[in-house]
Amino acid sequence: MPELPEVETTRRGIEPHLLDQQVERVVVRNGRLRWPVPEDLDVRLSGQHIRKVERRAKYLLIQADAGTLICHLGMSGSLRLVPQGEPPGKHDHVDIELASGQSLRYTDPRRFGLMLWSHDPLSHKLLARMGPEPLGDAFTVDDLFAKSRGRKTAIKPFIMDNAVVVGVGNIYASEALFAAGIDPRREAGSVSKQRYARLVGEIRAVLARAIEQGGTTLKDFVGGDGKPGYFQQQLFVYGRGGLPCLKCGRELREAKLGQRSSVFCGHCQS
């Protein structure tokens, strides 16, 4: 699933092509996504100018004059710019045609993504109860430490909880915990404030590096420009169970946490 860096990479890739552009029409070939595409999306969006392209957690918010298109890429979705008239493929479900002659094309083989229309997107039930952005000022050591008190859940699923902090998915949680030297199995409530301070810094650093590299290509992710991400080349633990630790050389271990595989170093993380 595209995680926060992949979604931010997409946002940065499509934003210059969308800002102040007028939408000429919306072509919905298959609206049966995780949530159905509104039947009147073409009516609502056609003729509107796009004013902002923002991100909240893993959601893209394409703000027009009269409302906002909420987009989620699901498990395998992508948004990219193509010339109008380019023949669609089997999984090209939605085209937003612009006055520039380009189309914003939504592709999603598994159809787990969504496109919804809202006049107040941050109050939508999908976004309303989310925690702070990990790269924003509201994500602080004090806040994370306070939320962790009394929590017996393992620290990895704790920092992956969108009510705690948004957008720290499986890949980047694994990498940040390794960089901070924290065993992902440790109870969140047992970690000291000093160690949380380091973890906050590493979460920020890992996500920032991933965004700079265009995200992580694990299967078929590409950014808004159609190019893959390269952060996978810098992964220390994710997907490397049984291989030598790149720091100490010992074999990396693997455990199930919150129904997800977690790879860690029993020597470098405690």
Write out the binding residues for DNA: 91, 110, 151
Which residue of the set 55, 56, 58, 147 is catalytic? 58
Catalytic residue status for 2? yes
Catalytic residue status for 58? yes
**DSSP at 127:** T
CB 156 within 8 A of CB 183: no
Residue 17 CB coordination number (10 Å): 17
What's the chain's length in residues? 270
Q: Which residues contact 139 (CB under 8 A, 6 or more apart)?
A: 132, 133, 165, 200, 203, 204
Distance of CA 211 to the CA centre of its chain: 10
Helices (H), the chain: 4-18, 41-45, 141-148, 155-159, 170-180, 193-212
- Identity of residue 168: V
Q: Which residues are annotated binding-site positions?
A: 91, 110, 151
**Structure-block tokens of residue 40:** 């009147």
Rounded distance between C-alpha atoms, residue 266 and residue 209, angstroms: 25
Which residue of the set 2, 38, 134, 184 is catalytic? 2
CB 238 within 8 A of CB 169: no
Catalytic residue status for 254? no
Helix and strand counts by DSSP (H, E) for the chain: 6, 10
Rounded distance between C-alpha atoms, residue 62 and residue 65, angstroms: 10
Catalytic residue status for 111? no
Q: Which residues are catalytic?
A: 2-3, 58, 260
